[in-house]
Structure 1
Amino acid sequence: MRTRNIFNLRSRLSEVAKFRPRNYQYESLPSSTSIRLLELTPSAKSKAIYCSLKVFELQDAPAFDALSYTWAPIVSSKVSTTEPQYNDPENGISGRQCRYPITCDGQSILVTANLRNALQMLSKSIVAKREVTKQKYIWIDALCVNQEDITERNAQVANMAETFKAAQSVIVWLGEEDEFTADAVKVIEQISAIPETEWQSAGYTDFYKDDCYRKLQVQHLSYLNWLGFIAFVNRPWFKRAWVVQEIALAKSALLVCGRRVFPWDQLSKTLAFIKSTRWYHHLTTEKMRHISALENAPGAYKRILSTSADIAMAAMYLDRTRAHIATSGRLTPQSQNRQRKPSLRLLLETHRYCKSTDARDKVYAFLGLADRRLAPFKELPNALVPDYSMTAQELYLQVARAFLVSYGNLTLLSHVQDQSHTRIPNLPSWVPDYSVGLQPYPLRFRGACNWSASGDLYWKRNLRSMERGYLHVQGYQIDTIDEISTLRDESKDAADSWASCVRLALGLDDYYRTTSSDMRQLSRVEVLWRTLITDSFARQYPAPAHCGELFIDYIINLQIRHRLTPWSSDIEFQPHHSPLSKSTYPEWHALLSSEPEGSPYGVQLYERRLSEIVASMFKGTYSPIGLAQLQHEFDIAGGSMRRLFKTKNKYLGTGARSTQVGDELWVLAGAPVPFILRRLPRGTHQVVGEAYVHSIMHGEAAGMGLKLCSTALE
């Protein structure tokens, strides 16, 4: 009997093997404008997926929808050892990540878990006649394009914009629901229902007021609901490079998360409200974790509150680009000029945060959206054609050369990431690595500053040297850096960062050195706070004088916090076991005492304001919420990504995190802001990053009597 059973089992396995579908073999497309469309075979019972691929000329194709989703599979910590695994190190995918077979035209194609789930969702919706798709055909990049054929892939990527414009609708698959989805959907439903005319009734600080929602005539939203929304817009889909084009060009877009379905317009209105009220400043876990209601009852969000998550500007930028594309071609209200599509440079700058499995897609994903009448295509019409035989390093170098040649200035250098973040090997220091995000934002995004550090100096380009990987520049070598601050994450002592900033300020003269006799002399304290916020506050430049008063309040709050640290620890109260380092008490008193006579930042003002704050604390009337904007300015002006520095000739500035003692401060011809360069043994330089230096941001270097010199950046 046992022998017969073994024989029968072998027989059945042999029969299964005969009918096992072979790996899918793509046939070449008849032309560069041909596309494949997927036809699903709906199945209500089976989880197996059956489909067919049909070839059409794009202009003659039947009505179809397009699927937008994340390629990368959802990696679980509990990966089954019985599931098929795959590795694709060339495209940045590695590890134990599952692929699942589907049957297409009787042949087998392996797809990621996320795509399999999306296909099952579409199949079920067709059977149940749910309002997800009404079309017979769907375009899905991973299946409709032969990813192994580089020639086809190049052609299909070049035409992808036309494909998405032709689609009747774009279906966005965000993945399955989780424990946060219900909260997120409640926020979207409530906020999107608020008429735009009522938005002004919601103030900046109303986020913390319970009666705000009553004024807006919507249901009350809890902090837990808002945390759910933060989790929702931080799903991987929102940060994928290709979705920008897919959403921007969609005639209509539908978001699907598990069984929840809602139009993009609802999310768009929600994001617009958050932007209008500036509530995105409050929607960060670093701020929300200190709300007493969440400290006492975090619910399912305990883990999220321990991370550094925010509203994810990715979603806002995505919606802004969609709006920009939607209005392109229309007459602007101010003139008879037609609104243009965004330039390639603007797209790459705006969506630098995006992620892609293939680093080359951080450029290719935006070519179809860019206005071909603008730089770099206006001067170089044949530049930057999708070519997957090119390495990411070659592509990024090509992009940098195209921008430098077409714009004729060095603004591009402001988009070079900190050296510690560069991932693409052998990339010259003057070429942005688009495969990584850029933090903090370039200085020119700080508001209407109109910085012009190089004045009338014009950059003289050398095309031959750029071909060899060198960038020849001209300018003034201003000074050498001789002291730098400590960043917050570089010391266990919470006060050490501020202590180092105070030491740098104490090293300045009574009045800050200026290059022009008509410039107002500034004391140490004023130069310090203006430098730390790059002299910009709430997009105003220069920062208004009342920021100095806020800064004094900020100092007082810092000192109170540092003094109370050993008294508020979680361990048993033993103050003699908590020795305080010198830096716990930054030399604020010495700095304030050094202020010249008549300074609004002297010790007397400080002591008077300290008494007022302590008195209001005892009365229960003190609220430091007015410091929220100042803290926001500190964060976006540098935070942990720019450090304060002082030069030998006592200039104060902020520079890249990688700035070192001995680095050189330059004003380069054709660059709006100063730069920090690092001299190499052979006399050339590397770009460290841009710099804000008080009093040399508007062409003052030309009057300093310095010799114009040149160098090569590599």
Structure 2
Amino acid sequence: MSLLFPYDHLEDGQYRLFKLDVEGQPGSPLSGQLITLYHPRSYAPSWKRMAKNYWNWNDMRFLERSGSGYDALSYVWGSTQGQQSLLLRMSERVWQGKTLKTKDLGHIQVPMSITANLHELLIELRRRRYDDFVWIDAICINQRDAAEKSMQIPLMRNIYEESKMVLVWLGPADEVTQGALKILPNLTKIFEGIDARTYMLDPSHLDTFTAKGLPPPDHAVWRAIGNLMAHPWFTRLWTLQEVALPQKVQVVCGKETLDWDTLAQFARATRVHPNRGWSIRRQSAAGNTTTGWDSCAMIDICRELRAANAWGMPLDSLLGITRRRQVSVPTDMVFGIMGLMAANAVDQMGPVDVTWSLPRVYVQFAQYYIHQEPQECILNHVASARRDPGLPSWCPDFSQPEETAALGSAWYYDFWIGPAQATHRFRAGWRREGPGQLPLRKHYMLHIVSNTLHRRTLTQGIYDAGDPRLMSVVPDSYRLRVRGMALDTVVAVVDGAPGSESPFTFAALSQTAAWENRCWRLAQRVLGATDDALPAPYYRTMVANQVPGLGLATFWDEHDAVPFADAYRGWRNYLAAVVAAGEALSAPAHMEAGALHIAVQMVRWTKHRRFFATRGGRIGLGPSSTQEGDELCVLWYCPTPYLLRSNAGMSEKEFVGETYVHGLMYGQALDMLERGELTEQEWIIQ
């Protein structure tokens, strides 16, 4: 963005607010003014903050007085093509009784460039004669000044929290979209009255819609809603912080305005129906896959988690939520995460500067994550299709979506598995009791008291021992020191897990059948199985031993309690039938009971993974980069086994990724260590 406006210098804890001139006639140039204030909840040291609050009492009154204050804007910058001009001037704040006014300092108005999307919003606000103070990042932060951005980005959390309202701008709207927004509450009530378990909205039968009082599936209102929920705003990382933090949020779309809760309630009411065969998402006129429904669900989770965790989201949830969002500047991913963390956690993490390189920012956050988060291991979130070349092999590229569903995570698609199920999660590197139990925090009782006072569950964070997994970043480097046991070596790999985005097309099914057959032939050689046999290690490996929906609602079948060999045979029979027919066959008509559950799990866990065999007679699922010679290891207090790779002439290892190996997922390596079959080792991972 080309900025011409001569900004004044901001001191630590200061920020600017913008006020639009509303007297302009339609078609006249936009103009407005900036004022500078102190934010009483800045990240300055406590003694400085107290001094500033004392000398800037009016600023604090302005922020905290009920009915006064400022709004904040949440929007997408959009393309830098076709930029528009805004005339801007600096003004001085003046208090008249209990009201904040401004005094023109006589400065000449200077033009600055703003994106077309922001220009459209300001035109709409001027039409509404909106003259409140508002914080807009593109205007209130000098985007040319890296030092100012480093100071203002951490302050954004407080800016949004203290705003009296956040305005979400979803762009202009035509008459159909405005009409759809007006009837949204009525649509929500109808959807809330439909039990998706017993009633299916079928777009091929209009009466399934009209019988419930809904517009027919080809009505323009659905296309308008699809386009609205496909807006880029729903995909951006910063919108999580901007909507999860404030108490009041309003959505502005064209001339229409609605409360955020109205939109979120509609998303919740309709979200279950696409899972039953009908999707408003596909009604988008552009034909794009939208993310509005999932985005609203993530924002709901953020709001609930913050309210339950002393107004800061726990680290174990942040990776699962933020990796599905997009940022324009990759390092912003960490700054966006910091905006959702508890304030004291940000202080403990230490300074992170926007001028730092991407590897330095990511390693700084990863190091803090390793030391503070025992529930969700960062090594299980490394896989991504693209990686910054400067990152060490063990550090995730946080700005990229994960290539695979993490085996060692408690996230299942877009929801967090409940604590009752989570007790059966993989724990390859620790035990629940006895030697090898996850170490407790040194200040155990103090943390219990702290959690109680902050309305957190008593178990949250109690395992924080400063080094909960016996791994740490080597000082003054990006290398990671880890300890654990080496178990085996990969000797054979089956390339090309299908990982199709459309798993029930003929092409995908035939590819899956061929790949599964190659895996089965390798497993037969390793396990010594015959064609008539189907060994449990094989079929449980192919679904990572997770079988929700089969007999028991089990995500992790820790004790192999759910028999599903017949269901897996049914899935193999269906694949064979598809290949023989030369076309995709209807799953309900041609698939045996339980086979569909296997299909769903196999697609999920084999996507972008390779099937492998080891020298010691084991089979497993590894990352897409798995190759012969990779070393199979279990690291202390980590949920899954991992693959490490040796490079010629180098003593350090390269981290390959997480694996599923049946018989090693629940502390069996620790038993082998106690029996003297293994020895503890230390590795440095580059």
- How many residue pairs align between the two structures? 573
1:554 maps to a residue whose letter is: W
Quick one: distance in 1 between partners of 2:291 and 2:278? 6
Equivalent in the alignment of 2:46: none
601, 609, 617: which one pairs with 1:633?
601
Equivalent in the alignment of 2:359: 393
Give matches, 1:273-672, under 5 Å.
Answer: 273-274=269-270, 277=272, 279-280=274-275, 282=277, 301=285, 304=287, 313-325=294-306, 327-328=307-308, 341-372=312-343, 381-407=347-373, 411-418=377-384, 420-422=385-387, 424-443=388-407, 444-445=409-410, 446=412, 447=417, 448=421, 449-456=424-431, 457=436, 461=470, 465-481=474-490, 482-488=492-498, 495-509=510-524, 524=534, 526-538=536-548, 540=554, 541-542=556-557, 545=562, 547-565=564-582, 629-639=597-607, 641-672=608-639
236, 243, 250: which one pairs with 1:240?
236
Alignment partner of 1:193 is 2:157: no
SS, match of residue 319 in structure 1: helix
Equivalent in the alignment of 2:503: none
SS, match of residue 689 in structure 1: strand
Tell me which protein shows more helix as a share of its residues. Answer: 1
Deviation at 1:545, TM superposition (A): 4.0
Deviation at 1:142, TM superposition (A): 0.7
Equivalent in the alignment of 1:517: none
1:505 maps to a residue whose letter is: W
SS, match of residue 271 in structure 1: helix
Q: Structure 1 pair 433/528, CA: closer, same or farther in 2 (3 Å)?
A: same
Quick one: distance in 1 between partners of 2:640 and 2:516? 22
Per-residue CA deviation, residues 122-165 of structure 1 (Å, 9 max, x unaligned), is: 22222xxxxxx5x5222111101112223322222222122112
Alignment partner of 1:271 is 2:267: yes
Alignment partner of 1:256 is 2:252: yes
Q: Structure 1 pair 234/510, CA: closer, same or farther in 2 (3 Å)?
A: same
Sequence identity of aligned pairs in percent? 22
Structure 2 length normalisation: TM-score?
0.73
Quick one: distance in 2 between partners of 1:632 and 1:311? 24
- Which region of structure 1 is more displaced relative to structure 2, 27-36 or 679-688? 27-36
Q: CA RMSD in A?
A: 3.9
8 Å CA contact 1:465, 1:472 repeated in 2: yes
Per-residue CA deviation, residues 372-430 of structure 1 (Å, 9 max, x unaligned), is: 45xx55xxx44243422212211101111112233479911112123x421x2311011
What runs of 5+ residues in structure 2 fail to find an aligned partner?
Answer: 40-59, 63-67, 90-108, 439-467, 501-505
Quick one: distance in 2 between partners of 1:230 and 1:537? 33
8 Å CA contact 2:84, 2:114 repeated in 1: yes
Alignment partner of 1:143 is 2:115: no
Per-residue CA deviation, residues 469-504 of structure 1 (Å, 9 max, x unaligned), is: 211212222222212242326997852443232222
Quick one: distance in 1 between partners of 2:633 and 2:253? 51
Q: Structure 1 pair 44/693, CA: closer, same or farther in 2 (3 Å)?
A: farther
198, 203, 207: which one pairs with 2:197?
203
Quick one: distance in 1 between partners of 2:173 and 2:535? 52
Structure 1 length normalisation: TM-score?
0.71
Q: Structure 1 pair 29/702, CA: closer, same or farther in 2 (3 Å)?
A: closer
2:217 maps to a residue whose letter is: S
Quick one: distance in 2 between partners of 1:316 and 1:469? 35
Per-residue CA deviation, residues 286-330 of structure 1 (Å, 9 max, x unaligned), is: xx98xxxxxxxx8x74x62xx6666663331122212333x347x
8 Å CA contact 2:196, 2:273 repeated in 1: no
Equivalent in the alignment of 2:450: none
SS, match of residue 645 in structure 2: strand
Equivalent in the alignment of 1:592: none
Q: Structure 1 pair 460/631, CA: closer, same or farther in 2 (3 Å)?
A: closer
Quick one: distance in 1 between partners of 2:595 and 2:225? 26
676, 686, 689: which one pairs with 2:654?
686
2:425 maps to a residue whose letter is: N
Quick one: distance in 1 between partners of 2:218 and 2:392? 46
8 Å CA contact 2:473, 2:481 repeated in 1: no
Quick one: distance in 2 between partners of 1:435 and 1:263? 30
2:572 maps to a residue whose letter is: I
Deviation at 1:32, TM superposition (A): 1.8
Deviation at 1:167, TM superposition (A): 1.8
Q: Structure 1 pair 251/407, CA: closer, same or farther in 2 (3 Å)?
A: closer
Alignment partner of 1:102 is 2:105: no
Alignment partner of 1:117 is 2:120: yes
Deviation at 1:247, TM superposition (A): 0.2
Deviation at 1:442, TM superposition (A): 1.7
Deviation at 1:358, TM superposition (A): 1.8
Quick one: distance in 1 between partners of 2:189 and 2:670? 56
Quick one: distance in 1 between partners of 2:640 and 2:243? 35
Q: Structure 1 pair 309/369, CA: closer, same or farther in 2 (3 Å)?
A: closer
1:434 maps to a residue whose letter is: F
Quick one: distance in 1 between partners of 2:150 and 2:395? 24
Quick one: distance in 2 between partners of 1:206 and 1:489? 28
SS, match of residue 523 in structure 2: coil
What runs of 5+ residues in structure 1 fail to find an aligned partner?
Answer: 1-20, 74-85, 87-96, 127-132, 290-297, 330-338, 515-521, 569-609
2:575 maps to a residue whose letter is: L
67, 71, 74: which one pairs with 2:73?
67
Deviation at 1:690, TM superposition (A): 0.8
Alignment partner of 1:673 is 2:645: no
